[in-house]
């Protein structure tokens, strides 16, 4: 069955037919065909994609969405005497703060507007002012707006201060070059259904082995115990503590293969960047303005301001685009009426050009 529409969203996203077709086979979670043939190669590949030495870094797969993986790290990495600094310029940074609150973890929030970065000066000042801070977390690509936070800059400041660094790379890992080990990142978190172009149902963590070892005994939940999940996979050679999302993991393995076939992360980054540029150039020609400035924009999802017209209605636009084979996202920036268009997944510049043709035909607000 062909897809009725293309998902122009930040995930779940449109996947290849070959990724979907791998899910037609069933797998036994206790069999070596699955654990040694699927899970362990996936874990090793993730460490390599992150630019890490397997002697120093490992990976952990977790059932559930990306937020499950983020919460697993937040609730497992910090001990009773630790304190977390969260840099937030969107909904997903704030979600980390909510996780810390729920688990009773000492934390402080350093915020900026949804279209701006937390400044380097503010970060340095916060670290200098509060010596109780032991860990720092932030979102690399904040899909609230599509802003790409300055990973290398933040990492340098945070690691120079001797803090443990947690990066939510949900919407960026696999889609932009990222040298995790050289940046000194301790935990990188993502999920199957983003830039690697798998299907929903699995989160992933790539972490320094020493940081994983430090998680022992710290978990505040059973299911999200990152250390226990990692140890079970390490000792069991790919076995999971609880039921594995077998079809999702096998589809992810195929997606990793297709990433290699495309030319790796650099090639995918170029395609996504081309998608983005095609879209923005065309939308600006149609009179739309972006929320995020070009120097801060990620090539994964773009937020556009509503047209300055009382006749514009997002729901009407959404339904018209859907009828033409495209699904977009509502806006999430609190201070600006807006909508979002994703350009990751099995999506190409020609798809962006087709969308622009449809957008021009359906400008009902003029």
Query: What band does 334 get if pLDDT is binned at 50, 70 and 90?
Result: confident
Listed in sequence order, the residues at least 6 apart from 99 whose beta carbon sits closer than 8 Å to its beta carbon are 70, 71, 74, 75, 105
- Is domain 6-10+263-361 classified as CATH 3.90.1150.10? yes
* 8 Å CB contact between 275 and 349: yes
Residue partners of 182: CB distance under 8 A and separation at least 6: 51
User: What DSSP string describes 281-315?
Assistant: HHHHHTT--BSS-GGGB-SSEEEEEPPS-TT--HH
190-213: pLDDT as tens digits: 999 999 999 999 999 999 999 999
Angle between helices 264-285 and 349-361 (to 10 degrees): 20
Question: What pLDDT score does 335 carry?
Answer: 87
Q: How many helices (H) and strands (E) does the chain have?
A: 14, 14
The secondary structure of 321-352 as a DSSP string is HHHTTEE-EE---TTS-EEEEE--SS--HHHH
Give the whole-angstrom CA distance, residue 257 versus residue 244. Answer: 21
Same fold, 6-10+263-361 and 18-260: no
* pLDDT exceeds cutoff 70 at 1: no
Across the range 230-243, mean pLDDT stands at: 97
pLDDT above 90 for 3: no
Q: Does domain 18-260 have CATH number 3.40.640.10?
A: yes
Show me where the domains of the chain are located: 6-10+263-361, 18-260
Q: What is the pLDDT of residues 280-315, one digit of tens each?
A: 999 999 999 999 999 999 999 999 999 999 999 999
- Are 309 and 316 contacting, i.e. CB atoms less than 8 angstroms apart? no
> What predicted TM-score, i.e. pTM, was given to this entire model?
0.96
- Which residues have C-beta within 8 Å of that of residue 322, sequence separation ≥ 6? 5
Distance CA 175, CA 148 (A): 12
Closest CA to 311 of 352, 264, 364, 252: 364
Residue 254: strand, helix, or coil: helix
Edge-to-edge strand list for the sheet holding 338-342: 301-305, 338-342, 329-330
Looking at residue 10, what is its pLDDT?
A: 85
Percent of the chain with pLDDT over 70: 99
Pairing of strands 164-168, 187-191: parallel
Q: Write the CB contacts of 273 (distance below 8 Å, at least 6 apart in sequence).
A: 299
Question: Residue 112 CB: number of other CB atoms within 10 A?
Answer: 17
């Amino acid at each position: 069955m062909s897809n009725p529409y293309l998902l122009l969203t930040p995930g779940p996203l449109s996947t290849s037919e070959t990724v979907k077709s791998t899910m037609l086979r069933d797998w036994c979670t206790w069999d070596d065909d699955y654990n040694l043939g699927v899970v362990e190669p996936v874990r090793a590949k993730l460490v390599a994609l992150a630019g890490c030495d397997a002697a120093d870094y490992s990976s952990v797969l977790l059932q559930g969405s990306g937020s499950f993986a983020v919460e697993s790290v937040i609730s497992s990495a910090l001990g009773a005497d630790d304190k977390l600094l969260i840099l937030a310029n969107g909904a997903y940074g704030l979600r980390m703060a909510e996780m810390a609150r729920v688990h009773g973890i000492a934390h402080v929030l350093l915020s900026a507007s949804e279209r701006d970065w937390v400044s380097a000066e503010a970060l340095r000042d916060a670290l200098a002012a509060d010596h109780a801070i032991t860990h720092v977390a932030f979102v690399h690509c904040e899909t609230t707006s599509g802003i790409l936070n300055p990973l290398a800059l933040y990492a340098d400041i945070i690691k120079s201060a001797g803090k443990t660094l947690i990066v939510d790379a949900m919407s960026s890992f696999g889609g932009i070059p990222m040298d995790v080990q050289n940046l000194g990142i301790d935990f990188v978190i993502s999920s199957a259904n983003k830039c690697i172009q798998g299907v929903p149902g699995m989160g992933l963590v790539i972490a320094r082995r020493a940081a994983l070892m430090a998680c022992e005994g710290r978990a505040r939940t059973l299911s999200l115990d990152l250390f226990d999940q990692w140890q079970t996979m390490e000792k069991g050679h790919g076995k999971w503590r609880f039921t594995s999302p077998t079809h999702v993991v096998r589809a992810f393995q195929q997606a990793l293969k297709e990433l290699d076939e495309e030319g790796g992360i650099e090639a995918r980054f170029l395609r996504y960047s081309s998608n983005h540029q095609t879209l923005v150039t065309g939308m600006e020609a149609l009179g739309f303005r972006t929320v995020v400035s070009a120097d801060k924009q990620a090539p994964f999802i773009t937020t556009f301001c509503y047209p300055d017209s009382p006749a514009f209605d997002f729901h009407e636009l959404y339904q018209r685009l859907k009828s033409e084979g495209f699904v977009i996202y509502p806006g999430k920036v609190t201070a600006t009426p807006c909508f979002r268009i994703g350009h990751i997944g099995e999506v190409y510049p020609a798809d962006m050009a087709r969308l622009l043709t449809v957008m021009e035909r359906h400008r009902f607000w003029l």
